[in-house]
Amino acid sequence: MPDSEKSRIAIGNFMTLNTKSVRPDTSVTDASKIMYENHIPSILVEEHGKIIGIVTYADIALALTIYANDPSSQIKSIMSAPVVSVTSDSSILDAVELMLEKKIHKIPVIDDGTVQGIISATDLMSLLSVLDEEQFYDVFRTHISK
Amino acid sequence: MPDSEKSRIAIGNFMTLNTKSVRPDTSVTDASKIMYENHIPSILVEEHGKIIGIVTYADIALALTIYANDPSSQIKSIMSAPVVSVTSDSSILDAVELMLEKKIHKIPVIDDGTVQGIISATDLMSLLSVLDEEQFYDVFRTHISK
C-alpha cells in the first residue's frame, strides 16, 4: 500500500484530543474535579513544560484507600511516572501491544515534547463497532479457533 | 455460517472470568483492597444472591474526592445501580455498542442470575492484537476514509 495510505492508520486518527494537565502541587481533589468536569479518565502532570506523570481514577482510588493518602495531598505524590508515551505516527497496533504488555489503559500521544492527545483502550475498542457480525467472524476466525 | 460457528463469537469466549463480589455493607477501602489484590478493575455488590450494583475505581475516586465520602463508608452508598449486564451468548458487537452508548467500560456477564464473568473495553481491545498491519488496514478502510 502506498505510504500516503499507510500513514492514515496511525494513532493520530483515533486518539482523544481532549487532554488536561495540572501542576505537580495540584490537590488530588482538584485534579479529580477537572477529570470529572471534562469527562476524561486521566490527567497529565506537567512541570516546566514537560509531562512528568499521569494519573488515572485507579491511581486516585488506590491512593485514598489502600495507601491512606488524603484527598488534599499533592497530585505528584500519587502520579505514575515516568510516563509511557507514543507518537501520533505510531501504529494503532503498537498501542494495543503496549497496553497489554504494560497493563495500562491510557497512553499519552506526545510529539517532540508536545501533547497531541491520549489513546485509550476504549478508543481502540470502538474501532470494533465498525465491523458487522460477519466481518468480525472473518477477521477473528484464527483467534477464535485457538 | 452454521449456528455452531456463529455461537463461537459470543462474549463467553472473551470475557474475564475473574470476578469478585462483596456485601453492600463492605467498606470502600475493603472493596478497593479486594480489587487491587485480585487485579480486577471493578467489583460487584451482591445481596441475597442477587447482583445489585457494580463499583469501579472511577466510582471510588469520585466518591472520595468530589463527593467527600469517607473510605470507611459502605460500598452501597457509592455503587452504580441498577447494573447493565449482558448474557454469555450475547454478541461481542452488542457489548461494544452498549459500552459506547452508556459510556461504561465494564459489563457483567450474567446468565439466569448467575455471574459468569465481566467483559471490559480492554478485553475487547485485545482482539485487535491478533490483526497484522495489513489486515487492520483492510478491515478499517471504510472507517478510516470517513
Query: What residue ranges do the domains of chain A occupy?
Result: 3-144
Inter-residue contact B25 to B76 (CB < 8 Å): yes
Chain A residue numbers with beta carbons less than 8 Å from the beta carbon of B145 are: 8
Q: Are B88 and B11 in contact (CB under 8 A)?
A: yes
Spell out the per-residue pLDDT of chain B, length 146, in tens: 444 444 446 888 889 999 999 999 999 999 999 999 999 999 999 999 999 999 999 999 999 999 999 999 999 999 999 999 999 999 888 899 999 999 999 999 999 999 999 999 999 998 887 777 777 777 676 665 54
- What would the grid cell of residue A109 be? 500521544
d(C-alpha A119, C-alpha A99), whole Å: 10
Dihedral Cα A118, B41, A76, A101, nearest 10 deg: -60
What is the pTM for the complete model shown? Answer: 0.88
pLDDT in tens, A64-93: 999 999 999 999 999 999 999 999 999 888
Q: What is the pLDDT of residue B4?
A: 46
Residue A4: pLDDT band (50, 70, 90) is very low
- Report cis status (omega within 30 of 0) of the bond before A82: yes
| Chain B interface test: which of A78, A99, A140 (most B C-beta within 10 Å) | A140
CB B39, CB B122: distance < 8 Å: no
CB spacing of B56 vs A57 below 8 angstroms: yes
Spell out which residues of chain B touch residue A122, defining contact as CB-CB under 8 Å.
99, 105, 121, 125
The pLDDT value recorded for residue B131 is 73
At the topology level, CATH places domain A3-144 in CBS-domain (3.10.580)
> Do residue A128 and residue B133 have CB atoms under 8 angstroms apart?
no
Task: Name the residue among A58, A127, A145 with its Cβ closest to that of B41.
Answer: A58
Q: Cell numbers for A96, please give them.
A: 494495543
Closest CA to B126 of A18, A146, A41: A146
H or E element that contains A53: strand A50-56
Whether ipTM tops 0.95, in short, is: no
Each residue's pLDDT tens digit, A130-142: 777 777 777 666 6
Put simply, the answer to whether A135 touches B140 (Cβ < 8 Å) is no
Across chain A, mean pLDDT equals 89
